[in-house]
Amino acid sequence: MTMVDVKVTKSQDGLETKVESSKTERAMIVYKPDNGFKFYAVKYEGGSNAPEELQGTWTGSAGAVKAVLRHLEHKPVSQRKAVNERANKRALEKEKLNGPKPDSKNG
């Protein structure tokens, strides 16, 4: 197994934990749904559903965060993230060769 660059941030109220990874565009959120139960679930930031293997519920946020970290260790870099990183790298290289873009507002 390889280590993944991950940043875990807990909300002030302790009901949500944000897991940001170098492998995904959007962070994953471990949260407590407003359904009257004490279980925690996982979703992507912005509300879209988590991957199939993270569709369950956990009795504590620590277990859910461990499941997310385990998922991220085995997940390849998302295609969208890879494409965006390549495009940004090409744009930086082009800017180095051609200089910065002229500011149309001032010129």
- Residue 106, pLDDT above cutoff 70: no
6: exposed, middle or buried (Cβ count in 10 Å: 0-12, 13-18, 19+): middle
| Reported pTM | 0.67
8 Å CB contact between 19 and 68? yes
Residue of 34, 27, 35, 43 lying closest to 13 (CA atoms): 34
pLDDT digits (tens, 9 = 90+) for 33-61: 888 888 999 999 988 888 899 998 999 99
Amino acid sitting at position 39: F
Cα gap 105→98, rounded to integer Å: 19
- How is residue 97 written in tokens? 């060769």
Residue 2: pLDDT band with limits 50, 70, 90: very low
